[in-house]
Structure 1
Amino acid sequence: MSYFVYRALTPGINRIRLIHLQPRVVDNPCTTSAAEPTPDAPGLRVACDISHVSLEQPPPYFALSYTWGDTSQTCPILVGGIPFNVTKSLEIALVHLTPKDVPLTLWIDALCIDQNDEVEKTEQVQQMHHIYSKATSVITWLGPASENSDAAMLWIQRYGFLSHSFGIGTKPELQLRTLLESMESNPDKLSDQGLKTFLQDISIQLSSRHATNDGDNGSVAVALYQLFTRTYWSRVWVVQELAYGKDVQFVCGNMVVSEEMIHHALRLLRNFSHYERIKSGQNPQAINSAIASSTLDVRNPVNILKIRRARGPFPLIYLLRTLRTFQATDPRDRIFALLSFATDAAALGVKPDYQKSPKDVYLETTKSLIGAFYFDILSFCGVDHHIGGLPSWVPDFTCMSQRIPLQQRAMNRKTSPITTVLQPGFNASGNDRQTHAPYTLSQTSSTSLLLPATFVAEVTRAGTVWDRNAFGKWFQDLRAFQDTISPVCKGGNLKAVWRTAVADQEIRQGDQKPRLSELELDRVDDLLGDRDLTAADENTFLSLGLGDYVYQLQDVAHGRRPFLTSKGHIGIGPSEMAVGDFLYILMGSQVPHIVRSEAHGMVKLIGECYAHGIMDGEAMEDDLPIDMVNIC
């Protein structure tokens, strides 16, 4: 059997390939397209032709945004009458998109780029933002229809439209939470019967009170959850593809909805989830929080649409942090897929190069970010690496920890280009050292990093690793350290425990991530006090009206354990830390870090930590010596 062979693109003149998907012979989505079967390829379902065009003045075309799927599961299609293997996922998409009458012109990465030519791939990837921005429309293929997908798409179309029509979220008095609280406390206050019906409908359809623990497959909430957790929403390339498209249409099976309707529906889901979380703190019987947290988690789609609508570009560090859980088939694409809309990619000297190994791409990217004083890239470092040979100070972007970083980068949309700021505003290394921390790669090794740092203390006790089913044990371990807390921990030992448990921060409020207020701290202290928390669970806190506090606790405690140092600091650090590790402040970093002694005077970076009493530069006021540490 002969197979399709690419004709090389003319180099240096912005040429791209387009495919022309041929109409099907019979009006049936499961039949072959117009190309006649050949002895080499009997009964193939998809046929297309391919052409070379100038990107400067291309003909009208659509760009496809989709999930590659399992690359080991392939099937042939016809390209120019010759068989060509594509993933099963792409073949299914092309079957659904096959036109009835005239050819459909498309740009599809798997077909329009020679994936076996690393030089061409590097050149074409650098053009992808132009390719998507010049397309007539971006077709977003979410996948074939499933049991509940039509119901989810219809809900998005209907309630996205109604949300837009009623102006939900456009004014303070039209915020969803305000409207729902008003309807619950005084339904007669809402004079608009249509709006009242709308609020009643979404309350019934989305509320976890109307879902069941056995995963009621007929519920709207479950249908939406299944749609918004499809693999598509975790693929890193789709962010760029949607960010640059002039127009975006979302397709699932035979259903189509606009980006605008997806946007309004996602706002409803996100804000309703927040409303239920607030209610759970007031009335724990009103919500099954396990169902609510899983059913209405739409963070990935929200982040994708937020980046698209903000119209960037953005600092690379913001994109890496915001999209840290997204995946790519090629591990190098965890970086390369972000570069076209990273404000500082050129200044950092990071550009796509498929002739480099994943290890070298990750190493050079991290080195460039640290050189630009983005020390928060170290938040993603951990002991586990899937890619061999990475030093401990370089994140493995293929296996990012589910542990949430202690700080988040908030977007400042008022600046151009968009800037970001770390929140909450910790400053462990002190103001006068924040932006002038020299670094160099060690002369003894191409992968060792020399950084100025201050030794604070040794870890003498380490508590239980967070486990939602052992909630009370984790808290009691932390509380057991209170009698040995250093006097540096101002405000009382027990209050230091309450602050440490949530890394001294509150639930995000819009783009803000505030430190734990004195008012909230006093409330927590009054309600918990000397209460025995050994058998405590989530409902213990909810029943006391501490919904926000317990949700922040669960966020920050995941993947972490309490610890105590030789100087009486309490804190929470990475689950991989152990007694005998050391607490250091790396100059330029806003948070402290745990390191482990290695051979030849080197240390291994274990991860960032919260250490109460030194998060605002207090340790630097003690004139502790600053030495160069060699991190391997």
Structure 2
Amino acid sequence: MSLHIWRVLDKAWNFKLLPIGFGFFSQIRQSYHLSFGCWLHIVSQDIQSHSTLSATYETKIQYLPLEESEIRLFILYPGSDEDAVSGRIEHSSWGFNSNKQYEALSYVWGDVRDSVAILVDGRTVSVTKSLETALRHLRYRDKPRTLWVDYVCINQEDIPERSKQVARMGLIYEQASSVLIWLGLATVNSGVGMEILRYFATEKRPQSCPVWQAYPQSLVHQGLLDVMNRPWFERMWVVQEVGRSHRAIFFCGRDCVQWSTSSIDVRRFIRMIKYAEILPQWTQLGLDTVNMRPLLEMLDFQDANSFSKPWGSCDRAAPDLLDLAYNLRYKKCSDPRDKIFGIWGMVDYLWHLEDFKVDYSMTVTQVYEEVARVSFSSHYG
């Protein structure tokens, strides 16, 4: 929640109030910050406490083999904040003829050593703290939620399966009803940043007094910086995950920003950001120091999926593997091979190369030698 009065002096005092928890075993508490100058701003901040599940008896997920036309889905059980995160895995037919509805999660894994326990099929299993926090916030209180989550829906220890599923990820995200983008917990500043993104995503045209001019300068700068500096925007995989989505939703704690990915809506979203960035007021507020490029890049790929498909057409050519890898070379991933595999689903002609597939048994050197081969082939320029 937020309440503000237009500032007269750009001076603020900030006090952190005592956390408020609902339920003795609640993992999520609310910490409130009070800021004031000649304006007043009250915000809530999520606080993550320890997992309610003991990690003493952790086991591994018991995976059954996947058929060629199957994917796994995670049925996230409903629960309140004090309940442990739990769900089950089920196999589902996959492809354009499947009528199974699911949402795909886009998030940062985080440090795999920083793990907590959840219940999967009644077994206590270890997942990254980042994933557990996302699932805790995204689950419904009164009904299950069907998700595709790479960490639990792919047997990460089965290299052939992992290779096949990663090669399909572009289509998995494209066929999802929504892509849920988990940016992390809310902070004292994130609410203003999310409100600015919501303005860009939902307004039909620029307003005479945009939301980023309605708050004190210090709040606007810190809020937008808080959201846009989230690690999610640095990841290689998110370009494909959002670029192929049909509907996307940012989540920052309980706060969300959603937009339709129709070509008209996405192009309007892009133009709203670009228009704001050329305004003198944007620079005067110091907002030109906030890097909006990662968001614009993903929206650009999302614009009509930004590439040709064999079952349709659009007014933009398919991207070349080398050009795409070069433009996104600054993106982060823990495995150097994922600099290539992470953009696989955006380069259509790779599907037709029987001798170059996503294969985690290949060494890093072999992967990049294949990039050189297909990029300099006479068939592809």
TM-score normalised according to structure 2 size = 0.72
Distance (Å, rounded) in 2 between the aligned partners of 1:99 and 1:139? 14
2:289 to 280, 294, 313: 294
Mapped to 2, the partners of 1:325 and 1:156 lie a distance apart of 23
One of 336, 354, 359 as aligned partner of 2:365: 359
Secondary structure of 1:241 counterpart: helix
Gaps of 5+ in 2: 1-56, 308-317
Q: Which residue of 2 aligns with 1:221?
A: 221
Written as runs of structure 1 = structure 2, the 5 A alignment for 1:13-24 is 13-24=68-79
Contact 1:16 1:112 in 2 (8 A): yes
Distance 1:357 1:337 in 2: 16
Shift of 1:339: 1.2
Letter in 1 for 2:350: A
Equivalenced residue count is: 307
Partner of 1:138: 179
Q: Which residue of 1 aligns with 2:242?
A: 242
Between the aligned partners of 2:267 and 2:156, the Cα distance in structure 1 is 33
**Which residue of structure 1 aligns with residue 65 of structure 2?**
9
SS of alignment partner, residue 356 of structure 1: coil
Secondary structure at the residue paired with 1:196? Answer: coil
Query: CA, structure 1 residues 366+19, in 2 after alignment: closer, same or farther (shift >3 Å)?
Result: same
C-alpha contact 2:171 2:345 (8 A) present in aligned 1: no
How do 1:576-615 residues align onto structure 2 when only pairs under 5 Å count? Answer: none
CA distance in 2: counterparts of 1:315 and 1:2, whole angstroms: 44
Question: 3-state DSSP class of the match of 1:328?
Answer: coil
Whole-Å separation in 2 of the counterparts to 1:77 and 1:61: 20
Larger Rg: 1
How far apart are residue 78 of structure 1 and its match?
0.9
Shift of 1:315: 1.6
1:73, distance to aligned residue in structure 2 (A): 1.1
Aligned runs of 1:219-618 on 2, under 5 Å?
220-260=220-260, 264=268, 267-276=271-280, 287=284, 291-295=286-290, 297-311=291-305, 312=307, 313-346=318-351, 350-372=356-378
Q: Could you say which residue in structure 1 is the equivalent of 2:198?
A: 157
Q: Within 5 Å, which residues of 2 pair with 1:183-194? A: none
**Residues 51 and 364 from structure 1, CA distance in 2 versus in 1: closer, same or farther, beyond 3 angstroms?**
same
Quote the offset at 1:265 in angstroms: 5.6
8 A Cα contact 2:322 2:371, kept in partner? no
Distance 2:359 2:269 in 1: 38
Deviations 1:546-569 (A, max 9, x none): xxxxxxxxxxxxxxxxxxxxxxxx
Task: Provide the residue aligned with 1:67 in structure 2.
Answer: 108
**Cα deviation 1:322-377 (Å, max 9, x = unaligned):** 22211123221110111122133246654210001222212321343234598xxx
Cα distance change of structure 1 residues 77 and 270 upon mapping to structure 2, 3 Å threshold:
same
1:373/1:136 CA distance change after superposition, 3 Å:
closer
Structure 1 gaps of 5+ residues are 33-44, 169-194, 281-285, 375-434, 436-632
TM-score, with length taken from structure 1: 0.45
Distance verdict in 2 for CA 1:72–1:228, change over 3 Å: same
* 8 Å contact from structure 1 (residues 139, 251) kept in 2: yes
Q: CA deviation at 1:156?
A: 2.6
Aligned to 1:538: none
Question: What CA distance in whole angstroms lies between the structure 2 residues aligned with 1:53 and 1:73?
Answer: 30
**Distance of 2:273 and 2:299 partners within structure 1:** 14
Q: Which has the higher contact order (CA 8 A, sep 6+)?
A: 2
Find the aligned partners of 2:252 and 2:118 in 1 and give their Cα distance. 21
Cα shift at 1:20: 0.9
1:90 offset after TM fit, Å? 0.5
Q: Is the 8 A contact 1:73 1:88 kept in 2?
A: yes
RMSD over equivalenced CA pairs, Å: 2.8
